[in-house]
Amino acid sequence: MPHAYIGIEVLNMTAGQRQTLIDALRALMPERDEQPAWRVHLRVRRDNQAAIVEARWQDAHITDASIRRYLAQAFGVAENTVTSAAATNAFGRVLTLTHSAVQRVRFLLFGGVGATWEQSRQAVLAYLAANRVQWESE
């Protein structure tokens, strides 16, 4: 079970779809754990369209295919109608999900696949420093 930071950005969703996404993601996150460091920690971007989540994730929950499959089920659409594009940037692995030819949500696994907690933490700190205006209050 990796302890990692994951960024989630809503790209094109209605308010109802956004709530479905939030509910689906909450179901994947361990709400309670005897180890406080493994409990869910959340930081929401100023515009409320993105968040960074620190948690101890199930390995099976953070693969490209499992995210695509899980969200297709949550939204009640056929899995083959949800496509994904993966890339790597300076902060980690990026997965963008598309449905009906519209990019809907983007995930960023800070530090990339197989990163340690410290590598993930360092990547999220670099990301926040590079995007300070979007994430910090005035």
> CA quadruple 21, 55, 123, 45: dihedral positive or negative?
positive
Is 138 a member of any domain? no
Domain count, the chain: 1
Q: What is the pLDDT of residues 4-32, one digit of tens each?
A: 899 999 999 988 888 888 888 777 766 66
| Residue 34 one-letter amino acid | E
Q: What is the pTM of this model?
A: 0.87
Distance CA(44)–CA(60), nearest Å, equals: 25
Task: Report residue 1's pLDDT band, with 50, 70 and 90 as the boundaries.
Answer: low
The answer to the question of residue 89 being in a domain is: yes
Amino acid residing at 31: E
**Which residue range(s) make up the domain with 30?**
3-132
For the chain, state the CA radius of gyration.
Answer: 14
Instruction: Let me know if residue 137 belongs to a domain.
Output: no
Supply the pLDDT for residue 38.
67
Among candidates 20, 8, 9, 15, which has minimal Cα distance to 71? 20
Q: Encode pLDDT of 48-65 as tens digits.
A: 899 998 887 776 667 888
The answer to the question of residue 22 being in a domain is yes
In the predicted structure, residue 130 carries a pLDDT above the cut 80: yes
- Give the integer Cα–Cα distance in Å for 72 and 17: 12
